[in-house]
Chain A
Amino acid sequence: MRQRSLLIITTGVTVGALTLSACGSRDDDNGGDSGGGNKTVTIGLDAPLTGDLSALGEGIKNSAELAVKTANKEKTVDGVTFKLVAKDDAAQASTGQQNATEFAGDETMIGAVGPLNSDVGQSMQKVFANADMVQVSPANTNPALTQGNDWQSGKKERPFKTYFRTSTTDAVQGPFAARYLYGEKKLKSVYVIDDKKTYGAGLAGTFAAEFKKLGGKVVGTDHVNPEDKDFGSVATKVAAAKADFVYYGGEYPAAAPLADQIKRAGAKIPTVGGDALFSAEYIKIAKKNAEGDIASSVGAPLETLDTAKAFIKNYKEAGYDQAYEAYGGYAYDSTWAIIEAVKKVTEDNDGKLPDEMDESRSKVVEAMQKITFDGVTGKVGFDQYGDTTNKQLSLYEVKDGKHVPIESGTFEG
């Protein structure tokens, strides 16, 4: 009797384990349109494919896959076929670092795209730098990743020459929102909340600094745990502080219930945040209480860009279950940047990649610095820190259950 039950448990656990590993390997098979080229190189992709942020992560993965497929179909690089290997970091810095180590150890891998979260990006940078392998993030916005920890005091120093990104940074995202809210919306007092993570705290910091400089008033600050769902007490404090709006530095899984509970606590004020609030999931969770909330995001709305039309069409035709979300266009451009860099390396090397992978990787890093091309999100190129030269930003307001663009522009220091 006892043994039979044990058998059942073992079977159950085994089935569970198999299911999980099946889910993992499913991603690995994607994007490998073989045939045509005589050398196959892989591009790694790291993003949160499970958990709260998976909506954004899946959009990144699908878009990167689309770029790889397009390059293979159009034979963008003669003699080279690309293959995408996607790994899930579950938004954990430690998992991201493990993935980076595996990527670096993969003899066929030329470069990697990702991750979504700035703290995950931070944990991966050194691994890639040691392997002299290029990393292009479509979504990391913390300035310290490219400009060093002392960026705020003006001592900008690039920590890793292998790290690039196609998204603009919080150094401009926070102040951009501050100027609009103070100048256009005439909101003069704010309650600032952040989740203490690299991204959230950085964003809230740059926002508050600019808002105070403009003459606005910070009537209160608080920090929350990003895993929490109960913000009743914080919401009560916000309502009592009588601020004109709330600025939240963090991501939508906590931001949506926070905004919802602030309005339920009786404070009918908008919650404003960065690109991590710019997701349809945010509205799904906060429902009616998301109305009037504002999110800033990097770049101009994809739907309004001529350069993105082909991407949007191809994405639809590919029939992905999930939307491309906030970073789809950037993920496509990040992947394409690696492809362009590989192209440049082959062109300078008699039409083929160097035989040694180590040499190829180093050359791609060098080439990355010099490339420019017309991407989905506009002109793609990198400055001396590895940041994108495209400093477009937009603000979106939730109206009738949708994010509607209300302001687009560039921010100059």
Chain B
Amino acid sequence: MNDLPQQLANGLLLGGLYGLIAVGYTMVYGIVQLINFAHGEIFMIGGFGALTAYLWLPENTSLVIALPFMLVFAVACSVLVGIGAERFAYRPLRGGPRLAPLITAIGLSIALQQAIWAFYPDGTKSRSFPQFHGESLDFGAFTIGRGDLFLFVAAPLSMIGLGFFVSKTRTGRAMQATSQDPDTAKLMGINTDRIIVTAFAIGSAFAAVAAIAHGLKYGEVNFKMGFIAGLKAFTAAVLGGIGNIYGAMLGGVVLGLAEAMATAYIQDIPGMSQLGGGSWKDVWAFVLLILVLLLRPQGLLGERVADRA
């Protein structure tokens, strides 16, 4: 068990990444009760946006200088696609049958993936992402890679910023109102259309930050990376209580830790050596999800709300 601190750090970092993406699922669901399955692809677009920005800069630009440009451009790309998806794919279907926007989301997700595959230069393969040079940082009990440092800083900062925005600003309170009762919010003079666009924009921006963290952590981006990441983030959002932004982050961290622990220690339990290791971690993560949902159907931080018709 000597490597426990390291495994906790691994899980926490992975969980932070899931959490950042999960925020996008949870915000959109909280306000329009739509599961935006194209969110994973919005995350992927952010990664390619950051890579594009880096390639535009003169060669040998230090990554520290390049990072702000990459961040701005990645966020711009993701937000543009997110808002575009809302405006052209989801808004026309609002008020229609519940399943229509869901199927649209799946279609959009495939279309975005294939667009990158077909039109991004060398997009059919993994594109390598710039890396920080140098050894991993040693904190005694555990080490973390230099690329992970971005995630370590960006994830908590983004969450604090979002928490402040939602609870303190006018737009943030309007978002809460819209999520509680869209019709009444409209009667109170809130422009709900604008609020919905804001929710998509914020979710997409978070996805872009996550995409840069993903690129720095794993050293590559590819057109398929949104699928698995999106699926895990959606799981994290449900685990934490869909609709609750803190729940999304908590769900992400719990999921990340569960995966790390399952990979590391299940094998050591006598008689379980066949059921542990890297290929079984998803099984254990979903066992945890099922257990949580059996005991708390609303998720860890979710509130039990009467289903609106």
Flag whether B107 is at the interface (Cβ < 8 A): yes
Give every chain B residue within 8 A of A16 (Cβ-Cβ). Answer: 111, 114-115
Which parts of A166-189 form the interface with B (CB within 8 Å)? none
Flag whether A231 is at the interface (Cβ < 8 A): yes
Interface of B is mostly: helix
Give every chain B residue within 8 A of A52 (Cβ-Cβ). Answer: 125-126, 222, 224
Please tell me if the beta carbons of B117 and A50 are within 8 angstroms of each other in the complex: yes
Bound together, the chains give a CA A286 to CA B133 distance in angstroms of 13
Contact A266/B143 with A52-B126, A240-B2, A281-B125 known, Cβ cut-off 8 Å: yes
Please tell me if the beta carbons of B278 and A223 are within 8 angstroms of each other in the complex: yes
Binding-face segment, B6-14, B54-62, B156-164, B196-204: B6-14
Interface of A is mostly: helix
Flag whether B131 is at the interface (Cβ < 8 A): yes
Please tell me if the beta carbons of B218 and A229 are within 8 angstroms of each other in the complex: yes
Contact A257/B219 with A9-B92, A237-B264 known, Cβ cut-off 8 Å: yes
Bound together, the chains give a CA A260 to CA B219 distance in angstroms of 9
Which parts of A1-49 form the interface with B (CB within 8 Å)? 1-2, 5-6, 8-9, 12-13, 16, 19-20, 23, 49
Flag whether B139 is at the interface (Cβ < 8 A): no
Instruction: For residue B303, give the distance in angstroms from its CB to the closest CB of chain A.
Output: 31
Q: How many A residues touch the partner, as a band?
A: 35 or more
Which parts of A214-242 form the interface with B (CB within 8 Å)? 221-225, 227-234, 236-237, 239-240
Bound together, the chains give a CA A257 to CA B214 distance in angstroms of 12
Flag whether B263 is at the interface (Cβ < 8 A): yes
Flag whether A308 is at the interface (Cβ < 8 A): no
Please tell me if the beta carbons of A233 and B2 are within 8 angstroms of each other in the complex: no
Flag whether A379 is at the interface (Cβ < 8 A): no
Please tell me if the beta carbons of A281 and B126 are within 8 angstroms of each other in the complex: yes
Interface bits B125-160 vs A (CB < 8 Å: 1, else 0): 110100101001000000101000000000000000
**Which of A9, A225, A260 contacts B88, CB < 8 Å?**
A9
Contact A8/B88 with A229-B218, A237-B3 known, Cβ cut-off 8 Å: yes
Contact A257/B220 with A223-B278, A285-B126 known, Cβ cut-off 8 Å: yes
Bound together, the chains give a CA A221 to CA B222 distance in angstroms of 29
Bound together, the chains give a CA A171 to CA B275 distance in angstroms of 27
Please tell me if the beta carbons of B263 and A237 are within 8 angstroms of each other in the complex: yes
Interface bits B245-270 vs A (CB < 8 Å: 1, else 0): 00000000000000110011001000
Give every chain B residue within 8 A of A285 (Cβ-Cβ). Answer: 126, 128, 219-220
25 A-B residue pairings within 8 Å (CB atoms): A5-B92, A12-B88, A13-B107, A16-B114, A52-B125, A222-B263, A223-B278, A224-B279, A228-B228, A229-B214, A230-B14, A230-B217, A233-B7, A233-B260, A234-B277, A236-B3, A237-B3, A237-B264, A257-B218, A264-B143, A264-B145, A265-B136, A284-B128, A285-B219, A288-B133
Residues of B participating in the A interface, judged by any CB pair closer than 8 Å: 2-3, 6-7, 10-11, 13-14, 87-89, 91-92, 104, 107, 111, 114-115, 117-118, 124-126, 128, 131, 133, 136, 143, 145, 214, 217-220, 222, 224-225, 228, 259-260, 263-264, 267, 277-282
